[in-house]
Structure 1
C-alpha cells in the first residue's frame, strides 16, 4: 500500500495515497469508472490534481487511462493474477536468498515479531472470529516484507512492494483466506528464516503464492468483476419487398 502520510505531504500526494489505498484494498471495485467530478467531492482536491494522481496510478497498473473516456480502475482476470503472482515470486524469491544471507539478530527479531502478529490474527480467523480484512492483510504484508528486509537493495524492496500491492488487490477483491494451509506455510517460512534455509523458503513461497491464485480462480470469485463482452448492435430489420417503392 502507499506510504504513510507525512507532515509535509502535499494535497496531490495525499490524494494519490488515498485513491491508491482505495484501489488496492478493493474499496474502488475493478472496472469502476473514475469520474473526475465525483472524485473531486470524495477526495477534496482539484480536477487537475486528481488527473495527475490517476496518471501516476496508471503507470503502476492500478488504473486505466482511457483517452477521451477518462479513467477506470484496472480490471481483474485469472490470467493477470497469474502474471502478477509470477512477478511477485521472481522478486521475493531473489530477495529472500539475499536477506537470509545478510540478516542479523535485529532482523531475526523483526521477522519473529511480524510473524507473531500475523499468527495471532490467523488463529482468531481459524477459530471463527471476525477480523478486519485490511488489518489481517497488513500483518501478512509486514511479515513477508520482514523476511526480505535485509536483502540490501532499496530498489528491490520498492519494486517488490509495488508488485505485492497488485497481488494484494486480488486478495482483497476475492476476500480470500485459505485457512490452516496458509498459516502453516507462514510458520514454515519463519522456521526457514531462523535456520537461514533459503532454498526451502523459496519452495514454500511458490506453493504459498500459487496456492492462493488457484484457490481464487477455482472459487470463481473474480467472475463478478470480469469485463462484460461488448454486444454488437443489431441492424434494423429490412421490410419485405426491399423497402419503399
Structure 2
C-alpha cells in the first residue's frame, strides 16, 4: 500500500492550489505552523507560491476542516489547541475506529490481512529507527502510523465513516506532533499486538487494546510538557 495522505510532493495534474493546500495542511498538522499563529497572506504567497486569492480559498477550506480559524475581516489564524478538544477528538477517533475495526474483522479477506502485515512492518521499521536515534530528522512517521490504522479499518466498507475518521485522525495527529518525541517501545508493542489480534479475528480484545492505545496517546500528550493546553 502506497501511503500518500501526508505526501506534499507535486502530483501529475495538480493545480498550484492543490499543491499549496497539501503543503499548508501538512505544515499545520506537523506543527510547523503553530497553534494560533497569524497567517499572513503576503508572506504565505512567497512560501507556498500561490496567489492571495488562491490562499484565501485554501484557508477557508481549512477553516471548514477546523485546522484554521477565520477571523472575518482580520484574516486567518492556525486553529488553537485546547484540552477539551483533545479529549473530544480522542473519543471520536476511538468510536469510529473501533466500529470500523469490528466491521473489517468480519468482512476482511486475505488481501486485507496482507495489507495489515505490510503496513505494520513499515511502521515498525520506522519506529525502531526512531527509538535507536537513526531516523532522519524530517521523517514523517505519522504517515506510517496512519497507514497501519487505516489498513486495519479498510475492509469496513463505509466511505462516510472513513472520511470522517480521516479528518479526526489528522486533527488529533497535530497534538501528537506538537508533543514530540515519539512515545517509544510501548507503542511498538501495542502495534504488534494489534496486528496479531486483528488478523486472529479477536475483535473484543483488539477493540480493548485499541481503546487503551488511543488513550495512552492522550496521556502522553498531557504529560509531555512540550506545550500546555488552555
> TM-score, normalised to structure 2's length?
0.91
State how 1:193-208 maps to structure 2 within 5 Å.
Answer: 193-208=198-213
- Distance (whole Å) between structure 1 residues aligned to residue 6 and residue 189 of structure 2: 28
Q: Given the alignment, which residue of 144, 149, 165 partners 1:144?
A: 149
State how 1:40-59 maps to structure 2 within 5 Å.
Answer: 40-59=45-64
- Distance (whole Å) between structure 2 residues aligned to residue 209 and residue 215 of structure 1: 10
Q: Secondary structure at the match of 1:27?
A: coil
Taking a change above 3 Å as real, the CA distance of residues 127 and 46 of structure 1, as seen in their structure-2 partners, is: closer
- State the match for 1:80 in structure 2: 85
Q: What's the CA shift for 1:96?
A: 0.3
User: Where does structure 2 lack aligned partners over 5 or more consecutive residues?
Assistant: none
Q: Given the alignment, which residue of 6, 21, 39 partners 1:16?
A: 21
1:36 matches 2:41: yes
Q: What's the CA shift for 1:126?
A: 2.8
Q: Secondary structure at the match of 2:77?
A: strand
- Distance (whole Å) between structure 2 residues aligned to residue 211 and residue 146 of structure 1: 21
Q: What's the CA shift for 1:78?
A: 2.1
Q: What's the CA shift for 1:197?
A: 1.3
Higher-Rg member (1/2) = 1
Q: Does the 8 Å CA contact 1:84/1:167 hold for their aligned counterparts?
A: yes
- Distance (whole Å) between structure 2 residues aligned to residue 176 and residue 66 of structure 1: 32
1:62 matches 2:84: no
Q: What's the CA shift for 1:28?
A: 0.8
- Distance (whole Å) between structure 2 residues aligned to residue 14 and residue 69 of structure 1: 25
User: Where does structure 1 lack aligned partners over 5 or more consecutive residues?
Assistant: 228-245
- Distance (whole Å) between structure 2 residues aligned to residue 196 and residue 3 of structure 1: 32
Q: Does the 8 Å CA contact 1:25/1:134 hold for their aligned counterparts?
A: no
In the alignment of these two chains, the number of paired residues is 225
- State the match for 2:192 in structure 1: 187
> TM-score, normalised to structure 1's length?
0.86
Q: What's the CA shift for 1:3?
A: 6.9
- State the match for 1:160 in structure 2: 165
